[in-house]
Structure formats: structure tokens, C-alpha cells
Structure 1
């Protein structure tokens, strides 16, 4: 075979390979175009945000999603626009949806480690991703992102793209959209943000959960400084104003990150809110009876008991409710550690109350002709084969009802229950708020039924 023939065959092979590669690329791009999701997916309605405040009106926790008002394209706050453009897409007003220079700049900075990692996607690409695409990381999604970016650029003005982007972006702490974030973090409208506040919020877009000032204030401050530096580089801000903004960092007007064990109280409050108003369509502020100092004390009491007497008894969990005389719940601990177990042993765990249930036995007796001085005989008893014994297995003979209650004598409580009737005792307990099933059996007098700590506390407090 001549050199010419070998060269010709090699060229034909390369041409065929290239042609097949181009054909495959065209088919793939066509497939991406055919499967473009040009309609916005309808997601589930997110729950409205609820801010929980103490009885004094001080916010201490928040749950749900903040949605705020939508920014109009012709009323975009200048501070915010300058900050977002500087840190996210400097050539936003110049490119047509894709910015090769921005991609190269981001790649260079990521390679050299300058300012940490940086993304190369334009704001238009990010809007396409936020609005139409799933979070999956595939070549098809990236190609569709670019296609959608060009499509958006052809349909919307730059200000409309920017407004839609700011209204859709997530800023951490449950805030979707810039107005929601402004209210969530600073208690003001997006239009009223100053330079430092706008810079901090613009910096959250890249990693909202990690940079949230309520969770990681130092990281949020460092990111704000980076945004201010970028604004100086783009000419949106002079060095003097940037320095002034750094010297007057934003002050948060929001509850801090919830202390983990406070969530036992919050879970219970949330259930009560839904019981009263269902799923609220609007953001709410709910004033509770929560006492932060008493909550801290309650948590410490539980931890101390578990590490002391609880450890000696091989007890792994405990619960505590602090309730005011009017029934207000001031503090609640549902277990050793909420992060490890969200099961609330104060409201969900059913346990035998034991002798504590005798309160209902004696209350029923006093309502049915007994007095504290009524004489009872502390002696062995047999009720259909059930033979309750006193704790010390000793019997004291004739005792008053007052003494029997004070010394928690099981035999007397059982006899009193048989005299007044188990059904009447159940009715008394139910009238005081007991909701668990109470079987009509003799042993009920000594607390054999399983109830929750919340029920017992509320009934005794009634």
C-alpha cells in the first residue's frame, strides 16, 4: 500500500469519525431541545413562615418558608442590583445569556484559589436552573440550561430577568426571594436595604445555608466583605463607602438559630397552631408562653438527673414539663437530646403514672361523701384475684383518708376505688383533660393505665 493510499484512508476514517461525532452531537442537542421544560413545574405549596415569640414578644424561633413581595422589574433597588451584579455576573448587561469570559475568569480563580471557588454561570443561566430545571448534575441539564438562557434573553428584558432571579433565589433561613430575605434577616423591605445589608444578602446566593448570618455570622461577614470588594472593582462603590459599610455591619432583626432542645416545645406549639388555624396562608407571628430561662433550667435539670440518679438506675431518657397555675406551658424537655431523637416523651410517650394516679381516686372520693378524716382500714385485700400490697409490705390498721393519701397506701386506694366506683374515677380524670384510654379495671386505682406526661401534668394543674 502506498503512502498516498494510507493517508487517503486515514483521512476518510477521520472524516467518518468526525461526521459521526457531529451527527451524535446534533441528535443529542435535538433531544435536549425536544425535552426542554418550557412550562414551570407546579410544586407543592410550602408552609407559610411562623415566627414564635416569648410571652414578652421576643422572637426566639421561626419555621416555614418566607415568601415576601415580588420585586418589579422597574423598581429594583440600586444597592442590591450593584451588589448582585458585582458578585454573581459582572457582564450581565453585556452578554446574551452565556458569558465565555466569565467562565474563563471563574475557571482561573478556581484554579489559582483566588477568593475561593467561583461559579461561571450567568444570572440568566441561574434563573433557568431555578425556574425550569431539576437540581440533577448532568450534561443534558447543562445543555438545556444554556438553551433556556438564550430563550429567556430573547423574551425578557435584562431588568425582568434580574427581578425574576431575585424573586426566586433562596437566601437561607427559609427565605425565598430577596424581599422575604430582607424581612427575615433585617426586618425591612428590600427597597430599604443599605449597602452593607445588600452586600450580605447578595453574598448568600452562592451558598445560602452555609453563609446564613443567623447560623454562621463570621462566614456571612467574610462573604459580605468579598461582595464589597467586588463592588469597588466594578466601580459600583468607592473605597471610602466600602470601608464605611464594613465599619457598620448589618444588625440582624431575627430570632437566632433555635436551640436544639427548644424544638420539643416548638413541635408542640406548631401542632397547636395547626389545630387552631390549619395551614396559615400568610406569615404569622405567634406569641407563646415560652420562658427561655426556665427552659434552660429544665434542660439542665434533666441532664443532671440522667447523668446522676438516671445513670445509676440505667435510665436513658427523661422528660419534664413546667406549667403555670393557669395551665400555660413555660418549658418542655422531651428527651436527652433532640438532635438524636425527635420523639417527644412529654407528649407522645405513654407510661404508667403509678401512685400519681391516686390523685383522681381521692378527688373522686371527696366528691362522693368522703372527708380527709374518714377512717379506712389498711389491710391485705383481694379483688377478684388482684392483691395489691403496700410499698413496704406493712399494714397500719385504722388510718384516716388524709394519712392514707400522704403515705400512698396502696391497699386503701384500692378499697376506696372499689367503694366509689372505677367508672366515676375515670369520669373525674376525663373531666380534668385526660384523653388516653383508661380501662375500667381495679388496678387503675394504682395507675396501671398508660398516659402521657402532658396529660398528667395538665390534669393535676387543672
Structure 2
């Protein structure tokens, strides 16, 4: 019995110990669980605070970036000024402020809905693709009308994932806050149509000479197509493309049962019916169109008056317009060249004067900025620059033979081949063999990359003949590559607009800032380039200061050029026809050289004389004590 009692006592002790241990373990587990719950609650509260703060920050950021002002009285004015602040032109009536869906027929409204967003009345403002585009690199507006309206309410256009997310939030808010009709009205009022025009009311008055309430279905479809792609479907420059796009929109109008499908064929047209309202101003409308297009890109839709400071010098611009018109009518048109264009820029790339054609109508393209022409020998300078970066001696020997290169056998204009020739003589004789052989020696892809780096923005093909003028380029391209020696060997930053701001604020929405770029032409190569240019400069041109210049005619005799420069201005002149008809009687080194000289003589009136060699050196330029137009602009930028 004693043993049993002892065993029972030991067993009871063990059970008590186990119970005590279990109680301690349970107590510790409860403490651990309590700590975990507290930690989890803290994390939840912290995450909620962070999320709420982020949402508030996003909301505040969105709110400060939005502009819901709406001027019901008048369309805002755009005051265009020269580089010195003098008013050049005041443009009015390009912004719609008065869209009313109560007076705009339902059938017209349906055209724009079908063209942009057929499911507009059925969705919540965004689509699945709008969520995916937040993380994509797509800079186009969202897929729905609401997303497009949301983008238009931001004060300044920006791109990136953050802005795309903000646009999506604003679109959802618009759908929650406003009716579909209100959103549609904003879309018709704020959408960009092209040529600095926003909204259907302004576009209808300018393109059709009629209020939007009276336009036809096809005219409405043309506007809707332009809203989708303002450049591709510009009815003034691309009437057939715009009409075809409008016809497709009308066909969809029938497919979605907004009109009877059998009516569509009667509504289609080959070209839009236009009655364009425009007037010629103080400066060429080619300049006005460029400015308004850039303002639209940098500011977007607004209700406030805008001030735009350009790099245009009014005296030089008027001179360019007068000289181009006079020489075109008296000397060039009688010889078969219907069109002339002129572009003059400072060595840092600012446009001082621009004339896009012998005359202006809104149905003609800007031949100085947008249209590409076959450059002939003007493009060959790229390979000479490249070669002189490797060896700056203009007397270096290079190959001049008819060996096939990349499947093409180059032919010199004079049909003479010397086997070996100096770089300088090759440039003077305008041979084709040397640029081709140089491009083959250094690598065509490297030469193309170099061409892009020094200012050729037009696309160049992978055909070796691109280095002798196979691919068309713009006057701005040619001016840019010839400005490099005058810009200390650095690529120019070509521009027309210096500053954009709202009237009365003084705070720039956009300010041109001189970018820091890599030097692409060595100082030794600059000296060599001047040797080449001086070798082809006709001394009979006789400016009152050091200059260089030369002319050419493209291989097919469809384009004539003259390019020349002083220490202050680089000016390119072109003559030809829009249909690329041949102009064998127009010579770049004669007729266009005369036009160039007439312009440059008066354009330099009052400017100090300075050698080009001194002007090309940044160190010498900064210490020579000479003040000129483009340096004046640089000083203003730094203030």
C-alpha cells in the first residue's frame, strides 16, 4: 500500500507539473497571439494611413493639375511675339467655347460617338485597355471619350505612368459626377482638330464657314476623323485620305443603326466640302500654323489668353517674304519652278525667318519645315565631316573609282575618275564615289547614326546611295548640318518657340532651355570644313562680311538648292514643284544664289562683322565683346 500511495503521489505530481507547464505554454501562446494581433492591427492601420495619404496626395496632385475654367464669353487669344517681345500677330477663334448639345442635332452628335467610342453610353468611362496602358509607353489618349476628356482637363500635357493613372482617376470621377451628355459636350469642345484648332465649333467656322449646327453628316465625319489623327486626316492637305476616313465613319454609323445603312452610299464623297476662312497676316501663315501647332502640343485646351515668344525677327521675316515672292515671280516661275522655300536660323538653331512657299494658302504644305526634298550634294557633307573627325586634313587622299559598293557602282557627274583624289578636290567636283567609299569604309550604319546625331531628322534608308542624296530631307535638316561649324561643333537645337505663358501670370508653361550636347565635330575638323566650304564659295556673291555658300541641283533635276552661312545666320533656299517635275533651267548656284544674296545682304544690316573662324570657337566667341541677336537670346534664357 505504501508503494501504491507513493506511485499515486508521484503520478499526481507529474500531472500537476504537466498541467502547470501546459498552463504556462498556453499563457505564452496567448501573449504571442496577442502581440501578433497588435502587430497585424498596427500594420493594417499603418497601411491604411499610407494608402489614405497616398490617395490624398494623388487627389491633391490631380486637383492642382486640373483646369476646369471655362470662358463662355469668347475664345481665348494667342498673342504671337518676336524674339524681342514685339507683337507679330494676334490669333483668335481657334478654341471652341460654345458647344451646346441642345442646338447640335442628335445625328451630328452620333457621328462623333461612333467615330471615337461606339459604346460610350454603355460603359463606366474606362476600358480594360486603359488599365494596361498605365504601365505601357503609349502616349496616345485613352480608348474612351471620357478618358480623352480627362486628359484635356490637365493644365499641361505630360506623359508617363503617373499621369496615365491620374487620367484614369479623373475619368472615373467624371463618370460619377457628370452625365454622359455633359462629358460628350466637353469632348466636342476640347478635342484637338489640328492647325491649332480645338473643338467642332471653331473648326466648323474655319473649315466650312458655317456653325456646327448646320454642317452635313460627311462634314461632321471629316471633323471626327481629324480628331482621331489631326495630321494624317487634315482635310486641307490630305483631302482624299480625310474623305475616305469620313466615309468609313458613316459606314459604321449605319452598322450601329444610327442611320439607315442604305443611306450611306449617298452620303459618301471623294473629297471634303470645304470653305476655308483665313486671312494673311503680318508674317507668313506658315509661321503662324507652326506656332499654333506647337502651342496646342505644349498647352492643350485652355480658356485663358496665351502669349508666345518666338525666335522670329520681324524685319528679317518680312525681308524673306518679300525676296521670295519677288524672285519667284520674276525669275523662278518663268523657268518652271512653281515653289520656293527659305529657312534662316541662328547658329544655335533658332528660326529667324521661314517662308514655306512662294505664296500661302491653307491647302499647301510647309515646304521649308514639313516637306522633304531630294538634297543632291547637300547631304554629302555628312561623310566629309565624319572623315575629317578621323583625319582633319582636307588634303588627305581618298579613293575615286567606280568599284561597286553594296551592289551599286557610283557615277561621277563629270564621268571622270582619278583613282586617288584629295578630300578637298572631291568636294569641289561634287563626286559621288568619295562619299560612297567613305561610307563603306567607316560603315553605313555608323554614318547614318552620325547623320541623325548632327541634325538629320528625316528617315534615311540602308541603301548606300543615301549618302549621295537618295533619300529626301527637309530644309531644316540641311540647315542643321551646315550650322554645326558655327555652333562650336555641337548639334543645333532647332526651334521656333522660345517661351509660352498665360497672359498676366508671367510664369512660363514652356521655356526653351539650351541643352548640353556632345561635341560632334572637332575643332580641327571645323577648320577643315571651312576649307571645303571656301573652296566652293563663289566670290562674285560678294557679301559685306565673311561667308560661305554653294548651290546644287538634285540628280533628277527636280530640286534646286543653295545653302550658305555667315557668323550669324545659316540660310537655306530651295526651289521646285510639288509634283516633282523637273526644273533643268533653275540652277542652285545661279538663280537661288541670287535670291540668297539678296536676303543675306539686308538681313545682316546693323550686325557687327565677325570672321566665321572666330565665331565657331566658343571660347573666342565668349570673349570677343561682340553682341548679336542669338547671343542676346542666350543671355535672356540664363536670366
TM range (shorter): 0.3 to 0.5
Q: TM-score w.r.t. structure 2 length?
A: 0.35
